[in-house]
Amino acid sequence: MDSLLQISLLFDFYGELLTEKQKNIYRMYYDDDLSLSEIALELDISRQAVRDQLKRTEKILKEYEEKLNLVEKFLIHKEAVSKIKKIAEDIENKFELPYNMLNCIEDIKRIADDILC
């Protein structure tokens, strides 16, 4: 997985466990796309302090994932739901089904889409 995507997912899952300072620096760097120097200037701290805080925050997020595995479980479940939707679509396309079964398949696909979004 792309490291930027990974850190974004980690922040989505565990961001609320960080301090306000950690969240603020993370958001400025990743969401607002500010450079280390721009963040340092904004917060009146050194560029090195910003870099250290970002590295520490990333380490904390990865440690949460190592202990809780929420992102890993989420990705596994997302893949499983995608497979369920694909199977439902295959059944719908390969077989002539009664109207009530087609409605059930549509319900399955709709629920899968809700989970995936």
The per-residue pLDDT for 1 is 67
Report pLDDT for 62.
97
Which residues, given as ranges, of the chain have pLDDT below 70? 1
The four Cα atoms 29, 117, 80, 60 give a dihedral, to 10 degrees, of 20
Tell me, yes or no, if the pTM score tops 0.85. Answer: no
The whole-number pLDDT of residue 83 equals 97
Q: Give per-residue pLDDT as tens, 83-92.
A: 999 999 999 9
How far apart CA 84 and CA 88 sit, in angstroms, is 6
Give the model's pLDDT for residue 117. Answer: 85
pLDDT attached to residue 65: 97
Residues 79, 83, 89: CA angle, nearest 5 degrees:
145
SS3 84: helix
The dihedral built from the CA positions of residue 41, 43, 44 and 50, taken in this order, carries a sign that is: negative
Residue position matching structure tokens 């679509």:
89
